[in-house]
Structure 1
């Protein structure tokens, strides 16, 4: 039986119910985080908690727990579910109001829910063989740096990518790749690793930030600038980063092979470095 966390209680997942008047359900008025679990421990927890604090602060939701208490609840949830490899999902909304109104009532209590998902990602075919991505127009709102639960544009892009035989969508605005629908986008050129700089146009990816640091520590240059779809198609390598994929090679974009059409050495090296980092620093 899977156990969830809801507003201070650990309950069976099927009993973790929230009101239909919850503003997360009615207005997507909420924030989420996803952290990886490897060997039963949370990966890069401090970065995910810091981003949670930034995102909730940006939309004015007060966390009902300290960050240390959130982490303790996540650890307890992992332990209660016996999770060794997978994900912890956290969502906080402004809470349930008495009626549906764009303006929330003063003082409503936020809703905090967490649950786990067993998911292998250390030794999977996609890591060995690479994935395909399809490019899509970026239809999202202007504050993509906020990790909002409003994911309709990403869900639409993911569905369109799947219909095109791809495993991820790369969002494109004015000819430049912003990011993946659920990942940070990278290419490898003669300069080094190229990835978009942080701004309100993209989410500051925790896994991507760790990969950037690991790359620079190992002598690989990281260039933070936008790149166009045409440059990605001509790149030596491409890859994505996220909590649920770690570092994963992109071997096809819009049906065209990247490099020799196989996972490249830079991405594979970074994946190995990240897994080592994750195991050394997990809590």
Structure 2
């Protein structure tokens, strides 16, 4: 049985209830995070919770939990869901809370709704390019709002883009802006590899400050064996890349072997991916 957390209480997930006047339900007025736990150990807990705090501050939701408060709560939640498996993801959702009416302006004196639940996640991919799963993806112009750096629960734009890729039989969809520049994917950040260098779009309002993205960049820079660069990336560069990766907390570093029906590089998972994934795997619990 999956045990959830809701506003101070642990209870079976199917018994969790919120008001239909909760602004998270009415407006998508909230912030969320997803954190992977492998064998009970979180990946990037502190930066995940800092990103949540930054998002809450950006939309002016007051939540008084510290990183240590979250650590204790989530450790307890993981322990209560140990029967679901060794590897779990935790979804955390903080909305502005329930008002007495539907009204666009932020209400005063409303307590935020805090909800979390755990769910099984797959084992990490093997650090072996001959055994790992390669993704086929498509691409389209990014039609979402201009505050994609905020991890809002209002995900309709992302959902519609993801569905566009899903409907065409693809596991993700890469997005580009009106200047034909890569932004990210519908539920992931994106990297390319060219001539041994790892390249990813700069962090701005067009993309999410991904925690896995940050861990990859910091790990590669600390290791020093693979050059990494943050800069504008054109779709022409993407289409001529030796390798493409999509990255997220659930996917970690996922290699892309096909884009819009054409092979990426030689159509096989690349050696740079394997080397980078090994470095990431060795360091991911340090963040």
TM bucket (normalised to shorter chain) is over 0.9
Map residues 148-159 of structure 1 onto 2, 5 A cutoff: 148-159=152-163
1:4 is displaced (CA, Å) by 0.2
Structure 1 residue aligned with 2:59: 59
CA distance in 2, matches of 1:70, 1:2: 19
SS at match of 1:215: helix
The two structures, once aligned, show a CA RMSD in angstroms of 1.7
Q: Quick one: which of 99, 123, 130 aligns to 2:101?
A: 99
Q: Which runs of 5+ in 1 are unaligned?
A: none
**Does residue 177 in structure 1 map to residue 179 in structure 2?**
no
Question: C-alpha deviations, 1:167-195, integer Å up to 9, x for none?
Answer: 01111112111001111100001271110
1:51 is displaced (CA, Å) by 0.4
Map residues 129-278 of structure 1 onto 2, 5 A cutoff: 129-174=133-178, 175-190=180-195, 192-219=197-224, 220-278=226-284
1:70 is displaced (CA, Å) by 1.3
CA distance in 2, matches of 1:121, 1:235: 28
CA distance in 2, matches of 1:21, 1:77: 26
Q: Quick one: which of 89, 92, 100 aligns to 1:90?
A: 92
For the Cα contact (< 8 Å) 2:196–2:272, is it kept in 1? no
1:64 is displaced (CA, Å) by 3.8
For the Cα contact (< 8 Å) 2:125–2:133, is it kept in 1? no
CA distance in 2, matches of 1:191, 1:54: 34
Q: Count residues with an aligned counterpart.
A: 281
CA distance in 2, matches of 1:204, 1:3: 29
Q: Which runs of 5+ in 2 are unaligned?
A: none
Give structure 1 regions of 4+ aligned residues with deviation exceeding 4 angstroms: 124-127
CA distance in 2, matches of 1:224, 1:277: 20
Q: 1:270 to 1:191 in 2, by over 3 A?
A: closer
CA distance in 2, matches of 1:80, 1:276: 28
- TM-score w.r.t. the length of structure 2 is 0.93
For the Cα contact (< 8 Å) 1:192–1:223, is it kept in 2? yes
- TM-score w.r.t. the length of structure 1 is 0.95
CA distance in 1, matches of 2:7, 2:142: 34
For the Cα contact (< 8 Å) 2:149–2:209, is it kept in 1? yes
